Each structure stands twice: as structure tokens, then as C-alpha cells.
């Protein structure tokens, strides 16, 4: 597996974050939470069942996308075979949707 260059990482992480944002919009509309991006960072902002925020940010030095949600940290790495950032078989969008549903059901 070839490591991503910093430039490749930035392009691919930006794409992954934008794709995750688009994939989450229908769920956000249905469930009443906000999906916001700023400076390459994606935030999921919830008012119910309690005020909280999930933060998704690229970490260039280690070439990972980090997710901070529900007092945990998730670190997704580039998987060349799938051309996606993944963690234990889940893409970024899948992970965020699962975490959002888990939080909303709590």
C-alpha cells in the first residue's frame, strides 16, 4: 500500500468530508440536526436529546480523518482498495450515520 502524499491526503480527505456531508443531509433533515462545514472541518450539531457536537477533521501529519463523538475518538485511514477512508469496514459516511442514530436513540 502506498502512503498518500500530503497533497493527495488533503484532496481525498476534503472529498470524503464533503461526500459524508451530502450523505448525512437527508438524515439531518429528518432528525432535526445540523451538518456544517468550516475550514475543512465537518460538525454535526444536535440540540436533542441533548446539546452536543460531533467533530470530523482531517489530520494531515498522520493521514487520517478523526471523528470526535460521544466522548470517543475514531480514526479513519485511507483504504486504497475501496478508495475511501475507513474504520473497521465502515466508510466515514456510514460511521457518522450510525453514530448519529445511536446518539438520537439515547
Confidence (pTM): 0.93
Average pLDDT score over the chain: 95
- Model confidence at 1: pLDDT above 60: no
Cell numbers linked to 35: 451538518
Task: Give domain limits for the chain.
Answer: 6-104
Cα 28 to Cα 2: distance, rounded to the nearest angstrom: 35
Task: State the CATH architecture for 6-104.
Answer: 2-Layer Sandwich (3.30)
The label of the residue with cell 433533515 reads 29
pLDDT of the residue at 2: 57
User: pLDDT (tens digit, 9 = 90+) per residue, 46-82?
Assistant: 999 999 999 999 999 999 999 999 999 999 999 999 9
Taking the chain, what is the end-to-end CA distance rounded to the nearest angstrom? 39
pLDDT of the residue at 3: 78
- Model confidence at 23: pLDDT above 60: yes
Amino acid at each position: 500500500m502506498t502512503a498518500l502524499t500530503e497533497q493527495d491526503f488533503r484532496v481525498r480527505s476534503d472529498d470524503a468530508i464533503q461526500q459524508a456531508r451530502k450523505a448525512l443531509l437527508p438524515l439531518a433533515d429528518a432528525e432535526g440536526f445540523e451538518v456544517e462545514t468550516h475550514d475543512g472541518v465537518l460538525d454535526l450539531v444536535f440540540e436533542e436529546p441533548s446539546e452536543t457536537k460531533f467533530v470530523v477533521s482531517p489530520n494531515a501529519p498522520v493521514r487520517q480523518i478523526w471523528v470526535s463523538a460521544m466522548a470517543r475518538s475514531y480514526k479513519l485511514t485511507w483504504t486504497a482498495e475501496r478508495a475511501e477512508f475507513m474504520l473497521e469496514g465502515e466508510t466515514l459516511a456510514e460511521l457518522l450515520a450510525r453514530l448519529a442514530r445511536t446518539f438520537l436513540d439515547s
